[in-house]
């Protein structure tokens, strides 16, 4: 089953790349990077007031959920290298402690973002142990295929996605917002996905939750626009991680280190864009605005029948 899934992913990605070459050739040619109108839509200027000072690259205290693997772990290591205090949080305590033990000034804390009591406990302990916390990456997430005909099994899977991917960030943000609002400068970064904008139908609830994260982030940014808190959205393309089994071996997907380097470059901009959209993710982010949503959807889903 895993080999078939991987083969489908490879075929799907190959066909998506063909779409880039035909329907969206201008994106592949890089015009978005040269300041086009569409690029401005994908990476709007930060909504912060011009007088607000930029958040420094170092000296922050950063919490990253989903920090035991994938994007979370890679971000933790790179942000730690920039002389930040980093707290990684996830469910796997032993894995977290092993990672943190390799780096001075990196800390491990256990949390299950599906559990309101676990989230409240984490928030309380972090504020007590790390009172300078000023940056939160809501990054914990799961991605599993679903068959809508599977009845109660499908509903259970759907519920797990919603509690992890959508309610988790909402809970943690609510729990830490009073503390963050007291900081001179603070930032919340919510991880959505390129699939928030053009879904892959075999992962219906995953895509729906990431679309929800996008919408929630837009509203949160608006409500906090007069505070000291920046609200950013990180929308990755398909990456070589183990978010799904075998995904890290699909060469057509973007290497994780290249993704992290591009994201750090976006974070170094002044002002930082509200949406951290790497070049590979723009084919999905801009699909509707550029009038090619259905072609992109068909290319993403063609391999699944």
Residue 206 a catalytic site member? yes
Q: Which of 248, 251, 274, 276 is nearest to 262 (CA)?
A: 276
In the sheet with 229-234, reading across from the earlier edge strand, the strands are 106-110, 85-90, 61-65, 135-138, 186-191, 229-234, 275-276
Which residue, chain included where needed, has tokens 């800390």? Answer: 107
Coil, strand or helix at 183: coil
65: left (phi over 0), alpha (psi -120 to 50) or beta: beta
Q: Calculate the alpha carbon distances from 148 to 4, 293, 297 in Å.
A: 20, 23, 19
Catalytic residue from among 31, 117, 206, 216: 206
| The pair of three-digit structure tokens given for residue 150, joined into one six-digit string | 């599977």
Catalytic residues: 206
């Amino acid at each position: 089953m895993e080999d078939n899934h991987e083969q489908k992913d490879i075929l799907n990605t190959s066909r998506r790349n063909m779409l880039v070459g035909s329907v969206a050739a201008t994106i592949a040619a890089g015009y978005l990077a040269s300041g086009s109108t569409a690029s401005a839509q994908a990476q709007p200027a930060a909504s912060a007031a011009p007088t607000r000072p930029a958040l420094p690259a170092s000296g922050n205290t950063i919490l990253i959920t989903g920090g035991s693997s994938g994007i979370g772990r890679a971000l933790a290591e790179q942000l730690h290298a920039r002389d930040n205090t980093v707290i990684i949080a996830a469910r796997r305590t032993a894995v977290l402690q092993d990672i943190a033990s390799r780096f001075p000034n990196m800390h491990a804390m256990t949390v299950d973002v599906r559990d309101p009591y676990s989230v409240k406990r984490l928030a309380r302990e972090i504020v007590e142990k790390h009172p300078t916390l000023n940056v939160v990456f809501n990054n914990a997430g799961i991605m599993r295929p679903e068959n809508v005909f599977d009845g109660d099994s499908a509903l259970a899977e759907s519920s797990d996605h919603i509690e992890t991917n959508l309610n988790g960030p909402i809970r943690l943000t609510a729990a830490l917002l009073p503390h963050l609002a007291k900081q001179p400068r603070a930032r919340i970064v919510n991880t959505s996905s390129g699939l928030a904008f053009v879904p892959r139908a075999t992962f219906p609830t995953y895509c729906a939750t990431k679309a929800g994260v996008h919408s929630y982030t837009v509203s949160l940014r608006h409500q906090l626009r007069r505070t000291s808190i920046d609200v950013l959205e990180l929308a990755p393309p398909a990456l070589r991680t183990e978010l799904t089994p075998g995904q890290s071996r699909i060469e057509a997907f973007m290497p994780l280190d290249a993704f992290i380097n591009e994201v750090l470059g976006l974070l170094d901009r002044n002002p930082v864009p509200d949406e951290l959209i790497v070049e590979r993710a723009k084919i999905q982010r801009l699909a509707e605005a550029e009038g090619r949503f259905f072609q992109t959807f068909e290319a993403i889903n063609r391999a699944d029948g």
